[in-house]
């Protein structure tokens, strides 16, 4: 409670002892370190322990990261909502305990892998999910706790300290500890660290930290309030678009720069453990750039608008990514220059996004808002890592960096558009004028990005103008389009439950768009199969279907999806009638089940991504069946929120 009428934030800040702040910074660094180590060690484990073939390393590494991110999005978003009800400290302690459990299981998965090879990979998927979700939850809740206790005057400084420690743990400490991978027992020691950190973090959280923010007990659903804040402030729309491309930075660089180094290690005459250690050193240099630039960014944020800070940081990181993609050899020490640019830009964007989000958000829904921002970043991570894995295998190891750079430049253009249209801040960082920005163009362009990336890379590599489209690129194009068709189909199915749970009715405006995008990518998937793969040769297609019967499941799903897309035009809806149209579109659930089976049967045994998608489909189908039987799950979820 505030003392002598002091504002809550100021009273809390003065009430926090130095020891408590030190514990917060230490725990932030520990959470970031554990998340970074799990990503950095993964390529080496899959290569040396699980024996994954080189030509599959990019896709398998990306698949594991995608599965971990999908589950992490759900968990972290849920805990972000719950933290406004139950407090931050209990969730932080639970996160560290789960981190320890995941680390203990990871040691078991290594022993199984050494005994039976790739058979232990399914257990490794589970351990990565536990470690990633718990580490991300811990970091988000610690940031939220700092947001609870800061004011507009000290927020850039204190939040900058949090980001400093987050990057310090996730890059520099990770780079130092990864050097142990070259020693005989190094991998075991690295895999044991999360267990020790989880147990120590649990104890320190319980004994030192305390909640300070009032709990949310209003009648309005917190996600509905979050939506109202985002819709009314164009800066938040920019922040969420920037979060989409920013959260993936460390993961993309740690994963694919390491893979790049390992993939050409034989060509340059170094061992793969040395290559992994070299990659860790370079990521450590990126961390140095972040740490050195944070004090400068704190001053920049205080004296300039948040929009300008986001635009400047994104453009710097975008140029760095594109520059990194111009190098042919990752062991060339000149790659440090673009990595430093990415690090400086990443630092500015991370600090600005956190400061802006906390500035704009009412205290009672701060956990929900930061959870929603994490959701945007998580979706971006899934999309970018998934695409990067395909690009790495089919188009080369530098393709993921070009992908990231072009995306950041796109959001920079959005920031410039806001400034050119007079949407800026006053000297005390309030919005000059209230003006809503229509979300439909932004959603439409975001959903079109996978297609734009594909066309862009095809043009750059000359695939459309030559006969160089060999087997690997064709397989890449086919699976890439099919995955995105399934992704948008699931998104369209998930929007109605989210709308019903949260009460955000405006989500209905985007549901049909997502369904049409699912059909768009599905049509391209079929077109790529019949033209690029088999050149319209019917006999070859029939023979291929006989050898791979799961193709019939995909074809049946597409045949069912086509009438739904055709009848999604306004004129057709009026002709059919709203009720009949809704009944017809219930077939989407049957289609999603067919696609899930098609995805599972088409995948290799070490690919766990189809099962994660199938679990989401089962959950959505279960929710809809419950709604038809009375809606007990919906009532329980609303009570839970």
b/e map of 557-570 (b: 16 or more CB within 10 Å)? bbeebeebbebbee
- Most confident option among 46-50, 407-411, 500-504, 567-571: 407-411
As a whole-number percent, the residues of the chain with pLDDT over 70 amount to: 83
Residue 424: the pLDDT is 65
Nearest Cα to 235, choosing from 84, 510, 432? 432
Query: By mean pLDDT, which of 177-181, 224-228, 438-442 is the weakest?
Result: 438-442
Q: Decide: helix, strand or coil at residue 431.
A: strand
pLDDT digits (tens, 9 = 90+) for 302-340: 888 888 899 999 999 999 998 988 888 888 889 999 999
Q: Quick one: pLDDT band at residue 56, thresholds 50, 70, 90?
A: low
Residue 54: the pLDDT is 61
Mean of pLDDT values over 215-237: 75
| Contact (CB, 8 A) for 502 and 486 | no
Write down how long the chain is. 641
The rounded distance, in Å, linking the Cα atoms of 491 and 514 is 7
The rounded distance, in Å, linking the Cα atoms of 440 and 520 is 17
pLDDT digits (tens, 9 = 90+) for 16-42: 677 788 899 999 999 888 888 887 777
User: Which residue pairs from 52-57 have beta carbons closer than 8 angstroms and sit at least 24 positions apart in sequence?
Assistant: 52/118, 52/606, 54/263, 55/393, 55/472, 56/393, 56/604, 56/606, 57/259, 57/262, 57/263, 57/393
Nearest Cα to 140, choosing from 408, 358, 317? 358
Nearest Cα to 283, choosing from 348, 343, 323, 194? 343
φ, ψ at 338 (rounded to 5°): -65, -30
Q: How many CA atoms lie within 13 A of 446 on its CB side?
A: 23
> Between these two residues, 77 and 522, which has the higher pLDDT value?
522
Residue 467: the pLDDT is 38
pLDDT digits (tens, 9 = 90+) for 568-616: 877 777 777 767 777 777 788 888 889 889 888 887 655 667 887 888 8
First and final C-alpha spacing in the chain: 25
pLDDT digits (tens, 9 = 90+) for 152-172: 777 778 888 888 888 788 777
Q: C-alpha distances in angstroms, 612 versus 327, 366, 372, 556?
A: 35, 29, 21, 22
Q: Decide: helix, strand or coil at residue 425.
A: strand
Strands (E), 291-443: none
**Does residue 495 surpass a pLDDT of 80?**
yes
Residue 314: the pLDDT is 93
Q: Can you name the residues that pair with 431 across neighbouring β-strands?
A: 425
Task: Give the per-residue SS3 of 36-82.
Answer: HHHHHCHHHHHHHHCCCCHHHHHHHHHHHHHHHHHHHHHHHHHHHHH
> Between these two residues, 639 and 138, which has the higher pLDDT value?
138
Q: Quick one: pLDDT band at residue 523, thresholds 50, 70, 90?
A: very high
Query: By mean pLDDT, which of 212-226, 282-296, 324-338 is the weakest?
Result: 212-226
| Contact (CB, 8 A) for 9 and 150 | yes
As a whole-number percent, the residues of the chain with pLDDT over 90 amount to: 9
Q: Can you name the residues that pair with 425 across neighbouring β-strands?
A: 431
The residue whose two tokens read 């009428």 is 5
This prediction has a pTM of 0.66
Q: Decide: helix, strand or coil at residue 219.
A: coil
**Does residue 375 surpass a pLDDT of 50?**
yes
Query: By mean pLDDT, which of 107-111, 132-136, 139-143, 545-549 is the weakest?
Result: 107-111
The rounded distance, in Å, linking the Cα atoms of 319 and 592 is 39
Residue 532: the pLDDT is 76
Report angle CA 29, 30, 36 to the nearest 5 degrees. Answer: 90
**Does residue 254 surpass a pLDDT of 50?**
yes
Q: Which residues 6+ apart lie within 8 Å of 291 measured at CB?
A: 164, 167, 168, 172, 347
The residue whose two tokens read 């203990």 is 104
b/e map of 486-501 (b: 16 or more CB within 10 Å)? bbbbbbbbbbbbebbb
> Between these two residues, 312 and 534, which has the higher pLDDT value?
312
The mean predicted confidence, pLDDT, of the chain is: 79
**Does residue 430 surpass a pLDDT of 70?**
no
Residue ranges and CATH numbers for the domains of the chain are 14-211+219-425 (1.20.1250.20), 451-641 (no CATH)
Mean of pLDDT values over 485-514: 83
| Contact (CB, 8 A) for 158 and 16 | no
Q: Which residues 6+ apart lie within 8 Å of 373 measured at CB?
A: 239, 240, 243, 353, 357
The rounded distance, in Å, linking the Cα atoms of 158 and 589 is 48
Residue 114: the pLDDT is 57
| Contact (CB, 8 A) for 80 and 628 | no
The rounded distance, in Å, linking the Cα atoms of 58 and 263 is 10
pLDDT digits (tens, 9 = 90+) for 460-481: 555 443 333 334 467 777 888 8
**Does residue 92 surpass a pLDDT of 90?**
yes
The rounded distance, in Å, linking the Cα atoms of 509 and 157 is 40
**Does residue 201 surpass a pLDDT of 70?**
yes
- Most confident option among 409-413, 457-461, 523-527, 574-578: 523-527
Q: Quick one: pLDDT band at residue 93, thresholds 50, 70, 90?
A: very high
Q: DSSP label at 630?
A: T
b/e map of 222-259 (b: 16 or more CB within 10 Å)? bbebbbebbeebbbbbbbbbbbbbbbbbbbbbbbbbbb
Task: Give the per-residue SS3 of 385-408.
Answer: HHHHHHHHHHHCCCHHHHHHHHHH
């Amino acid at each position: 409670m505030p003392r002598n009428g002091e504002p809550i934030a100021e009273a809390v800040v003065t009430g926090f002892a130095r020891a408590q702040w030190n514990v917060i910074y230490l725990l932030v660094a520990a959470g970031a370190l554990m998340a970074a180590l799990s990503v950095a060690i993964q390529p080496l484990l899959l290569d040396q322990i699980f024996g994954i073939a080189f030509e599959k390393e990019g896709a398998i590494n990306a698949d594991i990261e995608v599965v971990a991110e999908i589950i992490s999005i759900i968990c972290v978003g849920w805990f972000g909502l719950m933290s406004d009800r139950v407090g931050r400290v209990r969730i932080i302690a639970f996160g560290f305990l789960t981190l320890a459990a995941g680390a203990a299981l990871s040691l078991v998965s290594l022993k199984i892998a050494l005994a039976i090879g790739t058979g232990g990979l399914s257990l490794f998927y589970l351990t990565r999910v536990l470690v990633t979700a718990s580490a991300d939850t811990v970091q988000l809740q610690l940031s939220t706790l700092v947001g609870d206790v800061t004011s507009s005057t000290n927020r850039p400084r204190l939040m900058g300290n949090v980001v400093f420690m987050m990057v310090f743990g996730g890059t520099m400490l990770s780079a130092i500890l990864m050097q142990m991978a070259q020693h005989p027992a190094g991998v075991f020691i690295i895999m044991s660290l999360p267990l020790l950190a989880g147990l120590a973090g649990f104890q320190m959280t319980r004994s030192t930290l305390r909640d300070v923010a009032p709990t949310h007990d209003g009648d309005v659903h917190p996600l509905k309030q979050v939506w109202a804040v985002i819709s009314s402030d164009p800066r938040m729309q920019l922040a969420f678009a920037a979060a989409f491309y920013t959260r993936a930075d460390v993961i993309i660089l740690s994963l694919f720069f390491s893979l790049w180094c390992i993939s050409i290690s034989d060509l340059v005459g170094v061992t793969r453990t040395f290559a992994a250690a070299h990659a860790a050193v370079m990521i450590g240099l990126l961390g140095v750039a972040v740490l050195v630039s944070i004090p400068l960014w704190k001053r920049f944020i205080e004296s300039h608008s948040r929009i300008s800070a986001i635009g400047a940081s994104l453009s710097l990181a975008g140029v760095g990514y594109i520059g990194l993609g111009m190098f042919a050899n990752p062991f060339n020490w000149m790659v440090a220059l673009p990595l430093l640019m990415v690090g400086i830009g990443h630092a500015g964007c991370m600090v600005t996004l956190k400061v802006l989000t906390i500035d704009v958000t009412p205290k009672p829904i701060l956990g929900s808002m930061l959870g929603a921002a994490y959701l945007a970043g998580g979706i971006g991570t899934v999309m970018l890592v998934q695409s990067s894995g395909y690009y790495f295998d089919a188009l080369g190891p530098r393709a993921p960096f070009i992908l990231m750079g072009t995306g950041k430049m796109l959001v920079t253009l959005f920031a410039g558009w806001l400034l050119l249209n007079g949407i800026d801040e006053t000297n005390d960082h309030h919005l000059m004028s209230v003006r809503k920005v229509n979300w439909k163009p932004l959603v439409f362009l975001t959903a079109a990005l996978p297609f734009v990336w594909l066309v862009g890379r095809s043009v750059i590599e000359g695939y459309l103008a030559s006969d160089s489209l060999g087997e690997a690129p064709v397989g890449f194009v086919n699976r890439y389009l099919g995955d995105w068709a399934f992704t948008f189909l699931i998104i369209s199915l998930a929007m109605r439950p989210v709308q019903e749970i949260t009460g955000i009715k405006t989500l209905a405006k985007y549901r049909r768009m997502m369904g049409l995008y699912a059909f768009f990518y599905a049509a391209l998937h079929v077109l790529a199969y019949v033209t690029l793969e088999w050149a319209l040769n019917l006999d070859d297609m029939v023979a291929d279907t006989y050898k791979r019967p799961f193709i019939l499941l995909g074809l049946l799903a597409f045949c069912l999806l086509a009438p739904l897309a055709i009848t999604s035009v306004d004129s057709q809806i009026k002709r059919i009638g709203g009720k009949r149209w809704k009944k017809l579109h219930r077939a989407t659930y049957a289609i999603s089940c067919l696609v899930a089976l098609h995805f599972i049967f088409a995948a290799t045994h070490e690919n766990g991504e189809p099962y994660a998608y199938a679990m989401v489909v089962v959950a959505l189908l279960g929710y809809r069946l419950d709604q038809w039987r009375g809606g007990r799950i919906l009532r329980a979820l609303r009570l839970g929120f």
